[in-house]
Amino acid sequence: MSRIQPPPGANLPPARRGDNPRRRRHDLTLPLPQREASLAVPLPLPPPGPSSAQSTSAHSAAQQLINFNELERSNRIGSGTGGTVYKVIHRPTGRQYALKVIYGHHDEAARRQICREIEILRGVDNPNVVKCHDMFDHNGEIEVLLELMDGGSLEGQLIQNEKTLSDLAKQILSGLAYLHRRKIVHRDIKPSNLLINGRNQVKIADFGVSRILEQTMDPCNSSVGTIAYMSPERINTDLNHGQYDGYAGDIWSLGVSILEFYMGRFPFSVGRSGDWASLMWAICMSQPPEAPPTASREFRNFISCCLQRDPSRRLSAVQLLQHPFISGNGGGQAQQAHQNLHHLLPPPRPLPS
């Protein structure tokens, strides 16, 4: 192996100042040109790069608000205890939106609170959460401009294919995990608030809006309208020592909704539109519902992890995204799923006969 030779002159001693008398000639000087200040002009700035231009235009588009007078109502697409939803068209662009008109007239303090809350919701950006674009105060009514979901809600859907149900649950959990990370509790997860579009994207709707309404209305006449999907500790404040965990409450509501999709009916012994006393007894006093024995072991355990009477034993949205029913894309899809089940909660005890 040959050594690497040093470059020529590398071993020479460094030159000392004054060794070369011809290096500097003090008698040779050139006068500097005089600058006329009156003729000076500023040089133009360099053009911005592509990324800067794109970010600037995107920021400008995000700041551009939609004029309410440019919205044209097309037809009504839904209504409930909280308000009525219309399909609207933005005339200058032809884009379609959903406009939710919130019922009720609120005092000034309540209106300011609602405006602050909706302003926070406008910053929410997730592929599994319906986008809130803007809010208007029109003729005393609060109207919220939302992303339009052309497939409507999942209410009344029968979904017994576990692979399809796993993908649906994964999308909802992804949206819930995002909201919970931002300290936003939905409080009204149910099939009618789960929307789908033509690309089979499932998105959570009315996030925060139910909580906003509930803060400004009589608690005895909650805007939610039904307790069918509420967790036991939210209905009966004597449970769980009077403490309510909104995140765990969302997980209970998710479990009831997913089980309803699989069974094709409300999973409790009474109908969801039953009287308040019957629903409260079924939800708070009886054992939580279970998936039928015909379902896979993974799905039955997934439902069990959502519908625990003790809210502290319910898995979080992030934990449920790692559940074998979700990560295995449906029951019976992965051999490893059965090996992971022993890390999860056991199914609830059966009802005494």
Entry field: residues in the chain: 353
By DSSP bridging, strand 141-147 and strand 132-138 are antiparallel
Q: In what order do the strands lie in the sheet with 132-138?
A: 71-79, 83-90, 95-102, 141-147, 132-138
Per-residue pLDDT reduced to its tens digit, 90-122 = 999 999 999 988 777 677 777 777 777 777 778
Per-residue pLDDT reduced to its tens digit, 148-173 = 999 999 999 999 999 999 999 999 99
**What CATH number was assigned to the domain covering residues 162-343?**
1.10.510.10
Question: Domain residue spans in the chain?
Answer: 68-147, 162-343
Q: pLDDT category, 273, cuts 50, 70, 90?
A: confident
Whether residue 68 is predicted with pLDDT greater than 90 in this model: the reply is: no
Residues noted as catalytic:
188
CA distances to 44, 63, 169 from 48, in Å: 12, 20, 44
Query: What is the identity of the amino acid at 32?
Result: L
Reduced to 3 states (helix: H, G, I; strand: E, B; else coil), residue 50 is helix
Map tokens 């809010």 to a residue. 135
Per-residue pLDDT reduced to its tens digit, 185-205 = 888 899 999 999 999 999 998
What does residue 219 show for φ and ψ, rounded to 5 degrees?
-60, -25
- The rounded distance, in Å, linking the Cα atoms of 332 and 299 is 9
Q: How far is CA 118 from the centre of its chain?
A: 14
**What CATH number was assigned to the domain covering residues 68-147?**
3.30.200.20
pLDDT at 36: 55
Average pLDDT over residues 228-240: 89
What does residue 167 show for φ and ψ, rounded to 5 degrees?
-65, -40
pLDDT at 29: 59
87 annotated ligand-binding residue: no
What global pTM score does this model have? 0.72
- The rounded distance, in Å, linking the Cα atoms of 100 and 116 is 17
CA angle 222, 223, 224 (to 5 degrees): 90
pLDDT at 32: 56
CA distances to 47, 63, 98, 151, 285 from 134, in Å: 33, 11, 11, 22, 42
pLDDT at 142: 82
